Amino acid sequence: MSSVPFEMTVSVLPGDIDEQNHVNNTVYLQWVQEIATAHWRAVASPQAQETIGWVVVRHEIDYKAPAILGDEIRLRTWVGKATRLTFERFTEIRRNSDGRLLSKARTLWCPINVQSSRPVRVSPEVRAQFSI
């Protein structure tokens, strides 16, 4: 399974900058989570959003180049392989001005029941919404 990519743009803000005068690594992780959430909210039905939540099982992030204050950043994500209880999600982070790859991430997410916070299988309908 692989989904149609979902994109959004963010701006580098003063609070994103660390002592080395570039975007702190934790901000990249925040962006990975923000675009995953935005993708879920844009595609999943209201019923799915009311019943299914997501928790991270694993993050893998490769940092390729720094972003600096004032950069416009394009976030791009898509869903990869899905097992019974995990969804693989990929994210690319690029600078808009030159398209340079700044970071890439692979995250494993586990769907949970919003009421019980226990892992839950995702219906074929929800799986189909995130596949090509």
> 19-33: per-residue pLDDT in tens?
999 999 999 999 999
Spell 21-46 as b/e; 16+ CB within 10 A means b.
Answer: ebbeeebbbebbbebbeebbeebbee
Q: Average pLDDT of 97-115?
A: 97
pTM of the model: 0.92
Q: Please give the span between the terminal C-alpha atoms of the chain, in angstroms, as a whole number.
A: 7
pLDDT at 2: 56
Answer whether residue 1 shows pLDDT above 50.
no
List of domains in the chain = 6-129 (3.10.129.10)
> 35-44: per-residue pLDDT in tens?
999 999 999 9
Could you give the dihedral angle defined by the CA atoms of residues 15, 18, 21 and 24, in that order, rounded to the nearest 10 degrees? -90
pLDDT at 55: 96
Share of the chain above pLDDT 90, in %: 83
34 pLDDT band, cuts 50/70/90, is very high
